[in-house]
Amino acid sequence: MPDLDRAGLRADCAQCFALCCVAPAFAKSADFAMDKPAGRACVNLLEDFRCGIHTELRPRGMPGCTVYDCFGAGQKVSQLTFGGRDWRRAPETAKLMFEVFPVMRHLHELLYYLTAALDLPQAHPVHNGLSELRERIGLRTEEDPAELRETDVGSLRGEANALLLRASELARASVKGKKKNHRGADLIGARLKNANLTGANLRGAYLIAADLRGAELRLADVIGADFRDADVRGADLTESIFLIQSQLDAAKGDGSTKLPPSLARPAHWG
């Protein structure tokens, strides 16, 4: 049986070889102050795998780094898949390690969502299917690097999406009355202050810079929703379905924002 403890689905940077600072590429934009090709270490990465500007990422034009979440894939690849051999002291591992990391991240992201779906009591009819797929993906994350690299992530995503969608429908069905459907909607800058979005479908919605102050988002499905610069001050996100930490990190909130106990209030909210 794979180790599917929830703690393993949270990033532990101290146990990782800074894979997110090396493996992915990023382009100069509002999220990053510079271009970086895939497989090349960020210029701010120190020899001990720490970030040289970690406390200044936002003012230094690197907010994209502050909202990145590997779902624990970094430490898994570093400590389990490659047995603690880092790409600097064992450069022969670098290419394969950087290829495996994004695969592991996809798998850990799926594990996170499947685990969240299993926490929904209303989704009991699909709990067996969720558990079976979760175990199968968990076992896949423990394969050797070469086999792991060849994982058909798309197929697993398809299986997971069908189950997660059904779990969401079952959970949101408990909300009485007509529910708003904004799946994939362009809500950039939308005025949604004090909006009742209980049980709404916001899957993949663009909520960039939306005014969600005081909005009710209990049992709203927010998987894949873009919360960059969305104002969630006073909003109720306590039971939002599939809400993740990086969505909160990208938003603007304060002490009045209601959050689920499993997620942390971002430090930059003040």
Between CA 199 and CA 13 the distance in angstroms is: 35
Over residues 53-81, the pLDDT tens digits come to 999 999 999 999 999 999 999 999 999 99
Q: Rounded to whole angstroms, how far apart are CA atoms 136 and 133? A: 5
Report yes or no: 196 and 182 within 8 Å, Cβ to Cβ. Answer: no
Mean pLDDT across the chain, nearest whole number? 95
Tokens (6 digits) for 159: 């299986």
C-alpha 104/C-alpha 7 separation (Å) is: 16
- pLDDT tens, position by position, 85-125: 999 999 999 999 999 999 999 999 999 999 999 999 999 99
For the whole model, what pTM was predicted?
0.94
Q: For the segment 126-147, what is each residue's pLDDT rounded down to a tens digit?
A: 999 999 999 999 999 999 999 9
* Whether pLDDT at 198 is above 80: yes
Radius of gyration of the chain (CA): 19
- CA dist 211 and 190 (Å) reads 6
In 10 A of CB 261, how many CB atoms?
6
Residue 264 half-sphere exposure, CB side, CA atoms within 13 Å?
Answer: 8
Tell me what pLDDT residue 3 has.
Answer: 56
pLDDT for 2: 58
What is the per-residue pLDDT for 195? 98
Residue 55 CB coordination number (10 Å) = 10
What phi, psi does 36 have (nearest 5°)? Answer: -145, 125
Phi-psi region of 121 (alpha: psi -120 to 50; beta: other; left: phi over 0): alpha
pLDDT, one tens digit per residue, over 224-253 is 999 999 999 999 999 999 999 999 999 999
Q: How confident is the model at residue 6 (pLDDT cuts 50, 70, 90)?
A: confident
Average pLDDT of the residues in 195-223: 98
Residue entry with tokens 């930490």 = 245
Closest CA relative to residue 219, chosen from 241, 202, 234: 241
